[in-house]
Amino acid sequence: MTKKIDYNAYGFRFKGDYQNNVAGLSAIGFELVQSPNYRWHGLHRGEQDVYIFQYTTRGHGAISIGEKNYQLTKDDAFFVRVPSNHCYYLPNQSSEWEFIYFTIYGEEVSRLFNRIVSTHGNILKLPINSEPIKYIIETLEKIDAVGIKHGYESSSCAYTFMMKCLEYLEYGLQRSNNYPLPTIKAIKFIESHYQQDITLDDIVAVTGLSKYHFSRQFHKFVNDTPINYLTKTRIKNSLILLTKSSQNIESIAFEVGYASSNYFSKVFKKIVGITPNNYRKNTTIMPVDKLFID
């Protein structure tokens, strides 16, 4: 990375039990190590119940986790708990290892860490312009300039970092300019034909892939199934009709691709939380012009 900040390590010890209960920042730094003596073992440290995220910006490092060994080069990160059976170090074949790190703690951090590791593992690969890495760099720049003044700020930094990680890992690929062509074709087909009685086979037919490979690819990039995406597209468009038109529920159901108004109402309530009639009357929920559905 282009070095905008000096090599420094910062530690924090602020008052406030909310840091232990939710999230707290223990340390953050930007370092270059060149000594073969650089070695940290997760079972031989003074810290307890902290979580270390370390991201390689240049050079070559290594980490062993349990019985597995990993070589770490540019854009590789590890995320580990202390104490645990791991050891990271400068390997013999490496002359230097440059990295940024973020050490955090707290009960909510623990829960979210377990969620990340159970799904993605301890070793992660992130581009330097990904949101988690940009956030660490921005935090380092801020600390270098004005510091962190109290525990609320520390807690906010730690929790925000975890949210950045989860957002990137779960939704980072969801940018249309990164979608492969079959996925783009499927999305365009759904958004142009949601009013019709289309099936998964109809969607697959425009992509040129097998049903299996298309479904896997679509879910990887959109984080949803094609049929769920179709359903959400129909419901989003029904909201416009419910608020902007005087059509009855049966007509709206038909216009967004449902042959049965009863089934439409059932699906609508499952996603929005209330019936189409109540949504139209605005008796139990604030109306919106656009609904974002997860």
Q: Looking at residues 226-248, what average pLDDT do you find?
A: 92
Give the model confidence (pLDDT) of 266-290 as tens digits.
999 999 888 999 888 874 555 666 6
pLDDT of residue 3: 54
pLDDT of residue 221: 85
Can you say whether the dihedral through the CA atoms of 143, 149, 154, 160 is positive or negative?
negative
Q: Looking at residues 134-143, what average pLDDT do you find?
A: 95
pLDDT of residue 174: 57
Domain layout of the chain by residue ranges: 8-171, 177-281
Instruction: Examine the pLDDT at 200 and tell me if it is beyond 70.
Output: yes
If one counts every other C-beta atom within 10 angstroms of the C-beta of residue 24, the result is 26
Residues 6+ apart with CB under 8 A from 223: 170, 171, 173, 174
User: pTM for the whole thing?
Assistant: 0.66
Assign 176 a pLDDT band (cuts: 50, 70, 90).
Answer: very low
| Mean pLDDT over the full length of the chain | 91
- Coil, strand or helix at 165: helix
pLDDT of residue 118: 95
What does the alpha-carbon distance between residue 37 and residue 33 come to, in Å, rounded to a whole number? 9
DSSP summary character for residue 78: E
Cβ(164)–Cβ(135) under 8 Å?
Answer: yes
Give the model confidence (pLDDT) of 22-67 as tens digits.
999 999 999 999 999 999 999 999 888 999 999 999 999 999 999 9
How much of the chain exceeds pLDDT 70, in percent? 93
Q: Looking at residues 214-235, what average pLDDT do you find?
A: 92
Q: Which CATH number fits domain 177-281: 3.30.420.280, 3.50.4.10, 1.10.10.10, 1.10.10.60?
A: 1.10.10.60
Instruction: Examine the pLDDT at 85 and tell me if it is beyond 70.
Output: yes
Cβ density class 87-118: b for 16+ within 10 Å, e for less: bbbbeeebeebbbbbbbbbbebbbebbeebbe
CATH number of 8-171: 2.60.120.280
Cβ density class 254-271: b for 16+ within 10 Å, e for less: ebbbbeebeebbebbeeb
DSSP summary character for residue 282: T
What does the alpha-carbon distance between residue 217 and residue 215 come to, in Å, rounded to a whole number? 6
Q: Which amino acid is residue 197, in one-letter code? A: D
Instruction: Examine the pLDDT at 157 and tell me if it is beyond 70.
Output: yes
Choose among 208, 202, 179: nearest CA to 190. Answer: 202
Residue with tokens 């902290």: 50
Cβ(48)–Cβ(30) under 8 Å?
Answer: no
In terms of phi and psi (left: phi > 0; alpha: psi -120 to 50; beta: otherwise), the region of 153 is alpha
Assign 292 a pLDDT band (cuts: 50, 70, 90).
Answer: low
How much of the chain exceeds pLDDT 90, in percent? 73
